Chains A and B, each alone.
Chain A
């Protein structure tokens, strides 16, 4: 039994978080798309996953999974909600949008053909599944 069997899925989760963070910063800082309020909440959940999971990987510390799961779950829930707003399932009037761009403005939230909220939802789903796999391997 390999003492660090959780490592590979944990690495995958970290890599997803790293790519998502780099992507979000690229959209915001390089391409100049202002994040809407819901985007900011997802960023708050996503960005800390990079150092938390990264340090866990460096020190072979599986406890980082426990610390990361609540963030991943919160981010996933917000991404799902954002997706529902984006596709018009939830009425846009219910969205807590303050100053800044609308969270439902479809034309501003696409990267080519791909909606940005969908990218976020995919990333959080992947991170959640990989963390769950890492946790199971750690427990076994």
Chain B
């Protein structure tokens, strides 16, 4: 009888230790991000980053995205809806985290579309067609050029833009920032510099709401 309880108690103890360890690990990881941000707040919002919504909004969502990431695809309409329904109080700043093979090419093509003022349309289309071009074992980001052609963009100009030193520099900066901020998953969200700890739609909305409240009360 006592031995049975020993087995049960041991199992419970190991599960509890696991949960405590997981909590501690996540907590420490979160603090490392906060510390990394403390030293260089400018690493979050760079002037070159695409902005969606009112540029002067009080609340800024920074999202590190990878165009090939399925979860980024799923969150894209959610985040846009948060911005659209905020009456200009929330803006979205996109930073790139090209963690998958072929993602850097995809970013170059997106940036080429941005240069001709069709960034958000092409980003929507890129996410919509993601299953066709972004298979992780066989990525074909070149297919994204078709989306630019559909938008009626100047293709010669777009190809030059995608290979331009400006886009090289942008990619280098974004990768440097994601490394220094220890971003290793996409999407990673920051709202007014506060990292989103519990990943999910409801926690993201709650964090945005919290920052809106803070902005309202001076």
Contact = CB atoms under 8 A, between A and B. Distances in A.
B11 A11 contact: no
Contacts of B4: 57-58
Interface in B1-40: 3-4, 6-7, 10-11, 14-15, 17-18, 21-22, 25-26
A30 B3 contact: no
A57 B21 contact: no
A105 to B, nearest CB: 16
Nearest to A30: B22
Contact of B10 (A18, A25, A99): A18
Contacts of A29: 22
B25 A54 contact: no
Interface residues of B, number: 18
Interface in A1-48: 4, 7, 11, 14-15, 18-19, 22, 25-26, 29-32
Given A32-B184, A99-B137, A15 B26 contact: no
Interface residues of A, number: 19
Given A22-B14, A22-B17, A32-B185, A54 B22 contact: no
Nearest to B23: A30
B26 A30 contact: yes
A54 B11 contact: yes
Given A18-B14, A26-B18, A57 B25 contact: no
A7 B3 contact: yes
B100 to A, nearest CB: 12
Contacts of B26: 30
A54 B7 contact: yes
A15 B6 CA distance: 11
Contact of A25 (B11, B18, B136, B184): B18
B11 A18 contact: yes
Nearest to A4: B3
Interface of B: 3-4, 6-7, 10-11, 14-15, 17-18, 21-22, 25-26, 136-137, 184-185
Q: Which 3 A-B pairs have the closest CB atoms?
A: A30-B22, A57-B7, A22-B18
Interface of A: 4, 7, 11, 14-15, 18-19, 22, 25-26, 29-32, 54, 57-58, 60, 99
